[in-house]
Amino acid sequence: MCPDHDHAHPIAVNVSDSAEPGPAPAANLIEELVISNHILFDQGVVDAFGHVSVRHNARPDHFLLARNMAPGRVTPADVVEFTLDGEAVNAGGRKVYLERFIHGEIYRKRPDVMAVVHSHSHAIVPLSVVKGVRLQAIFHMAGFVGQGAPVFEIREAGGDATDLLISNNHLGRALADKFVGHDIVLMRGHGSTVVGSSLPQAVYRAVYAEINARYQLQASLLGEVTYLTEGESRTCIQNVEGQVQRPWDLWVEQARAKRSVQHTKS
Ligand SMILES: [Zn+2]
């Protein structure tokens, strides 16, 4: 961190509840968000950092995101409602994620997006920093990656002395602009953000983007790589990603089983 600079800020922040509460979100949406946090941890997409959000079912100008904590530990009581500006409705004095602006600005930019995953998953980061190399769809599970995922360069919007975090709406908007025509954006020296039309789809994409990145690194060590064409990507999104419920049901079952065992032991 850089405490001597004007732009220094903690990564967990206190906010006052400045937005008016409206209709409560559906209980099953909160449950789905909680289990998404657990799955992303179980699948190695997030560790103690990273976050997942969902658009409010009754208020499209609000979204739900856990308070500042490790995703693997989130419970329904930890879910906080925010406006697209990142103002909290019911934080109640609890610390929230600094980078909530990623979520709000993407929901504003892309009305079709219902869920957002931000992570620093391990194989993605190298692909965010090498000049002339882009993350590209390499296998049928990851058609959504496309033929060259954009890389967000924070220096263009925030100068050359940031901590690389999306710490305000200005930076959030600059990132969200990259999502026009793309469902995954890499963030240089930081990680990636993936969007979907539901939590299961966004989680699926975050998991398979990481696997795609790993395969791309491995394949390029072996020799020249053949990537999916645009047409193959499109067909795979329709046919393979259409099966998102299959891995989702498995992951949900695993996440529940794992945590019920832990509860029994404690
Ligand atoms: Zn981050």
CA of 35 to the centre of ligand 1 (A): 20
pLDDT of 262: 64
pLDDT of 17: 85
Q: What are phi and psi of 156, to 5 degrees?
A: -65, -30
DSSP string, 59-73: -TTEEEEE-SS-GGG
Decide if pLDDT at 58 tops 70.
Answer: yes
CA of 264 to the centre of ligand 1 (A): 33
Query: Distance between CA 70 and CA 78 in Å, rounded?
Result: 11
Range of lowest pLDDT (13-27, 133-147, 149-163, 249-263):
13-27
Catalytic residue among 32, 87, 99, 105: 99
Average pLDDT over residues 62-79: 97
Decide if pLDDT at 99 tops 80.
Answer: yes
Question: pTM above 0.85?
Answer: yes
**Catalytic site includes residue 99:** yes
Instruction: For residue range 161-214, list pLDDT tens digits in order.
Output: 999 999 999 999 999 999 999 999 999 999 999 999 999 999 999 999 999 999
Average pLDDT over residues 128-148: 97
Decide if pLDDT at 1 tops 60.
Answer: no
Length of the chain measured in residues: 266
